[in-house]
Structure 1
Amino acid sequence: MIEKLEMFLAVAREEHFGRAAESLGIAQPTLSTGIKQLEDQLGVQLFFRGSRFGGLTPEGQRALVWARQIVGDARQLREEMRFSRDGLTGQLRIAVIPTALTWAAKLTTWFGNKHPNVRFTILSRNSMEILSMLENLDIDAGISYLDNEPTGRVSTEPLYNESYMLVCNEASSFAGRKSVKWKELAEERICLLTPDMQNRRIINRHFGEAGIMPEARIESNSTVVLVANVLDGGWITVLPADLAEFLTAGKPLKTIPLVGVHTGHTVGLVAPYREPHTPVLRALLSEARRISEV
């Protein structure tokens, strides 16, 4: 039953039988047979069928909630038994907003030093994708904003408060400044993250509070692309302070605090709301708490 529920979750996630089979590493006929057997066991049709994926039936929607709970419980049982046998081990899959990747490195490094038998997969995703992946059991935890947009029913541990820096090259008129007001960026050549990123929505709100709305002529979902344009093209950008210092280190670039509006949002670890958590996830949440206290 658990294996068939895993198949059901994969199809619901991918919305395509072929991609779902590929994600599970099985042949599509095997997947289709498994879904049909699950439907026979439950006595309902889970998917609308046609020449294309037709979506979940109403019964399938209700079954999806149960499937996530049951599969999550089964995975937790396996983790608990493995912990009792081998101690803290396994793999943690963590999705991280791009602006918090340096903090993800800190968390996993410090945690890994204490628990060397735990492996990590770190993915860069926007905040909405992180919540979706948590719900679909595609990741074990995420690092995202905690206080800007709704996060749903999740467990959280704050890591740090975000502040913002102007990043410019040494030829910029801002280069010698100790601080820059947000409103001074109104007419500047600016490049920013894409609007699907929560950081961009936060920055846009701060611009609005300053009474301006500069036009970003270059948008990217990569902070590396933004810094490269500042370095080579004479643009400016706005980044969180920790990430700005990391990306500009050793380069002929300047980072200058932005002032003039109230800023600062909490970024932290998010995990599916479940009591108790798996041993490795409990330890990760505890490490995040220790880091924030430090």
Structure 2
Amino acid sequence: MSDTVPGRPRLAGRVALVTGAGQGIGAAVARSLYALGVSVAATDVHGAAVAELAERLAARPPASVPGGGEGPAAAVRAYPLDVTDGRAVEETVERIERDLGPLGILVNVAGILRTAPAAELTDEDWSRTFAVNTTGVFHTARAVAPRMAGRGTGSIVTVASNAAGIPRTGMAAYAASKAAAVMFTKCLGLEYARHGVRCNVVAPGSTDTPMQRSLWTDPDAPRRVLDGDLATYRTGIPLARIADPQDIADAVVFLASDQARHITMQDLYVDGGATLR
């Protein structure tokens, strides 16, 4: 029988690595895990951003852990990391496990967006997008999954995009890189299931992050996201709201927790129904 408390993820005492934690969804994931008693290694290519996040979180440690009173003391530490550098990823993972303990959770959030019509993308646009969004996921998983397997447990969640499952104008490199990251994560989950390592995907739609706001070129842009835009073949968002980063973080926390212990190789769309699936 499960010892989880209904509606309350039990994660206290675990250690998580969150990439892209300097802002947006990554920062929300780091905050949410830490609030549940997880020791968080917050990484980002922008070291100052994760250092500031770690300082803010450490100043307000969780007083208790939902579902069980006082939990073990959680820590949060910042690690500057470029996920495109495989050697740096391996060295950082080793350092995290020395500093905080064995990793039980990996959340891949680091990503970039380069927009242009498909035939107008530069070689640098294409290669850089895949280096971060796809190869970065490969690097972290390669460093972490075998360690988890050796311990017989672990959860890996890749934050992709609903663009991985539906064509978007001007987003060919981004969509293709996210689709590749989705299938890599699912294949990883198949290979590591027998070792107790679960691998899942969260696919956000339009979310109020700096990346999303970079696409808004006029005051009517948010309304077009909600209502749809015939010129770009977008259907809009049936729930009539743009997601908050916390909406995505909540889905990540669920999949990372034991409440999802029988879920692996799944792709959870958190997009307000925008992809009609």
Coarse TM-score class (shorter-chain normalised): under 0.3
Which is richer in strand?
1
Q: TM-score, normalised by structure 2?
A: 0.28
Q: TM-score, normalised by structure 1?
A: 0.26
Higher relative contact order (CA 8 A, sep 6+): 1
